[in-house]
Chain A
């Protein structure tokens, strides 16, 4: 605080300043701490977009990956209304699933990540590159229901998790199309321009996953991938009863890491970066933090995986109106009797006589279309060219 005083009052001023400084330092440090606590990350709500892009039974592990992140995110507080879950195929009720309505992440059926309370927003054929980009950028057709929209604002922290089969610079959707890292980077830039996120955490578990975040250029994005370019991400353990690999290694260890997090824990991102060393994962997980403004060690896991709730505790009592119950409405009906004289009746389900005698609806007459018009024009032109107008009187 550089303050200048006139020389005459310098002594008093300096003394006063020193006093203020000493008093203020105690107070400001307390407020600063509180303020810093409050505005640590600057977000007020959390969203999650979880995408599984693979179809077919042998890609069970990708659905299990996505569902385990969904489960952790729900457990740490993000409600279903703030999660957009996209699963490209149905594994739980697949006829090949020996235990229907379950998706397991650990062998011997230890943990059912599908649960009893799951809401899938985009499923089966709806998981396409177009729908994914529309969800991210918000350019959705107006009739889309709320549960399928990402209604984030500039104070939202968004977690985006993607898993499936990928390669150097692309991620495959349902074995029929791909999304490239450039498209993804551009989508994030659109989100930034529209102020659709405060901070974004992007996690990808595919082969050569690090290639997907190479091209990001928007600020406030932190990215994690399960393998570097040129490496494959491997699957974890098969279950002999179900017959497929249940999870991918990286997400398996991420799930185990997240199972120990609770909404109040102070674990930060540096711990997440260490989650799957090469000895366990075989591939080398990578991360990218250069676009992120805060230091990863100051970023809590719950900033992205949990949900911020600012709670105000009040001690005053609030009185609720007692429920008067429902008054007898029988008299009301007698009163209204005079309005509706004719009584209503149920329709006959199969009125044979009426059906037989109903006339089929006449199709509306449409003027002839272009082809028919053109054909007739050609015929008439040829006719007149052949016979000439002046010969018409011989014909007619």
Chain B
């Protein structure tokens, strides 16, 4: 039987490449992977990736048999002559400052960028039709993509897959920031997976947990890749990625213990039978050194080390196809627990009361070696009454300096000093422990420029009001109470006028 099969295969080969026809469907394979990364802020990031690789040249062959590669997307590639397609739907923002660099970030809303093949004559029409079809597949309002929000980048967004030449005329990019991501987008995304949500890692994809997160991003990436190391032929790669960040405060109730059940309300029972690889990676880089240790339950059977995003990282690997991983109760619930020495921290805070007492904040912190620790506090100055201002308020207000009292480990052990015998400068602070010395430091006082009220305002208001009152009321008063007499104009020559002037100066009645 085997010999007959081999003979048949040989016969097929000899017929030549043109006659493949319906000989056999091109092979496709599925790999699924989940990476769990505990973040420095206490949250946990989970990144799912489902990669379907299909060894077929869609452009050349007429394909009618789809196995793992979804038919909806395969038909899109051949109908619109796509070279690459990248669609992402994201809710939230990846906070690099608190969470570190992401594997693959996406903008909030919907982002679609596509490279067309160079056989496409009217790229804009294909782009519009493609966005309409995608809006139907993913239940998103991608049909709002038109020329008003589409651009053709000239330098960025080079193809991520195989590319011989990159004429940017065939690239289109659009973003819809208002797009909402919800279960109706996750449902068709899940249906593109070979195992849907029935087996393997996709069983963890429950909408109620996935959307109760600080960051949720789901994406579809299609691109051509090398089929083998020699890279003589093309395979199509479909990657479906989903990244979520679970908030320690919201879902973890402040505790830093995580487990698959806590995150997804499900555990893993079996790998996807259609997958060739199904693995869970947990990032244990930051937790293998320090006093703090990360306890993984069940303990990992192997680890993987690599340089990722510029740093050396270590991952604990759980292979779902390894029967030792899924235990006798046929489920895998990874648990991450932190074991750290008891924190001897202390915080005392006394809030201020207006015109009674100031803020007081005292903290006892253990500073790690060769590190920078920043402590910042925000405060507001209450609005003062106008009599409480100093005569020179534009100078600003002072905030008293902070005090840092530190016990610094000393390089050399100190001898206990005899206060009467040793010089005065060595006996300022009593030394109890010879391995460290006490130090008290102060920060600069703070001079804060606060908005100053305009103290000339009352004066200006009084002047203005009095003027207005005087002009208006005064005019009315005059009109109502004064009587007017007609005065005879005085006639006379220049001499008479001069004489009258002199007489007036003397106080004598005029002529």
Q: Which residues of A contact B (CB under 8 A)?
A: 90, 92-93, 99-102, 112, 114-121, 123-126, 143-148, 324, 326-329, 331-333, 335-337, 339-340, 343-351, 355, 358, 360-361
Contact = CB atoms under 8 A, between A and B. Distances in A.
A345 B139 CA distance: 35
B159 interface: yes
Given A116-B187, A119-B184, A93 B211 contact: yes
A112 to B, nearest CB: 8
Nearest to B188: A119
A76 B452 CA distance: 71
Contacts of B426: none
A336 B158 contact: no
B300 interface: no
Contacts of B163: 346-347
A120 B184 contact: yes
21 contacts: A92-B183, A93-B183, A101-B182, A101-B207, A101-B211, A117-B187, A119-B139, A119-B184, A121-B136, A123-B184, A143-B129, A144-B136, A328-B9, A340-B232, A343-B231, A346-B163, A346-B226, A347-B161, A348-B158, A350-B156, A361-B154
A339 B18 CA distance: 12
A100 B208 contact: yes
B230 interface: yes
Contact of A124 (B26, B141, B166): B141
Contacts of B12: 327
Contact of A333 (B128, B141, B227): B227
Given A100-B211, A100-B212, A101-B211, A147 B139 contact: yes
Contact of B233 (A90, A116, A340): A340
A336 B206 CA distance: 45
Nearest to B132: A143
Contact of A116 (B141, B156, B206): B206
Interface string B22-38: 00111100000000000
B157 to A, nearest CB: 9
Interface in B266-311: none
A93 B188 contact: no
B49 to A, nearest CB: 19
* B interface majority secondary structure: loop
Contact of B226 (A344, A349, A350): A344
Nearest to A324: B24
Contact of B232 (A123, A344, A360): A344
A129 to B, nearest CB: 17
B159 A118 contact: no
A74 B292 CA distance: 51
A232 B12 CA distance: 75
B232 A343 contact: yes
Given A123-B141, A145-B137, A347-B159, A116 B183 contact: yes
Contacts of B166: 347
A282 to B, nearest CB: 33
Contacts of B182: 90, 92-93, 101
A164 to B, nearest CB: 19
A363 B138 CA distance: 36
B437 to A, nearest CB: 51
Contacts of A112: 208
Nearest to B134: A145
A92 B25 CA distance: 42
Given A101-B182, A145-B137, A333-B227, 4 more contacts: A120-B184, A333-B232, A347-B160, A348-B158
Contact of A146 (B136, B207, B212): B136
B245 interface: no
Interface in B41-98: 55, 91
Contacts of A100: 208, 211-212
Contact of B136 (A114, A147, A339, A361): A147
A203 to B, nearest CB: 23
Interface of B: 5, 9, 12-13, 17, 24-27, 55, 91, 128-129, 132-133, 135-137, 139-141, 143-144, 154-156, 158-164, 166, 178, 180-184, 187-188, 206-208, 210-212, 226-228, 230-234
Contact of B212 (A101, A145, A347): A101
Contacts of B212: 99-101
Nearest to A146: B136
A326 B27 contact: yes
A337 B188 CA distance: 39
Contacts of B136: 121, 144-148
Contacts of A332: 13, 17
B13 A335 contact: yes
B430 to A, nearest CB: 56
Nearest to B67: A326
Nearest to B226: A344
A346 B237 CA distance: 14
B132 A144 contact: yes
Nearest to A147: B136
Contact of A344 (B27, B55, B234): B234
Contact of B158 (A92, A337, A344, A351): A351
A192 B27 CA distance: 50
A360 B153 CA distance: 12
A327 B24 contact: yes
A331 B132 contact: no
A327 B234 CA distance: 18
B91 A329 contact: no
B162 A344 contact: yes
A143 B127 CA distance: 11
Contact of B55 (A93, A145, A329, A360): A329
Contacts of A335: 13, 17
A41 to B, nearest CB: 30
A344 B158 CA distance: 15
B158 A145 contact: no
A333 to B, nearest CB: 6
Most buried by A among B26, B141, B156: B141
A251 B234 CA distance: 55
A114 B232 contact: no
A124 B158 CA distance: 33
Contacts of A119: 139, 184, 187-188
A121 B141 CA distance: 9
Nearest to A125: B141
Nearest to B231: A343
Most buried by B among A123, A328, A349: A123
A147 B77 CA distance: 19
The 9 closest A-B pairs by CB, nearest first: A145-B136, A93-B182, A101-B211, A347-B163, A143-B132, A100-B211, A120-B184, A355-B155, A101-B207
B9 A145 contact: no
Contacts of A326: 24-25, 27
A100 B180 CA distance: 12
Contacts of A115: 183
A323 to B, nearest CB: 10
A358 B155 CA distance: 9
Given A101-B210, A349-B158, A333 B184 contact: no
Contact of B132 (A145, A327, A343): A145
Nearest to B213: A100
Most buried by B among A145, A329, A349: A145
Most buried by A among B137, B166, B212, B228: B212
B211 A339 contact: no
A151 B191 CA distance: 23
A102 B160 CA distance: 37
Contacts of A333: 227-228, 232-233
A326 B232 CA distance: 21
A337 B139 contact: no
Nearest to B230: A343
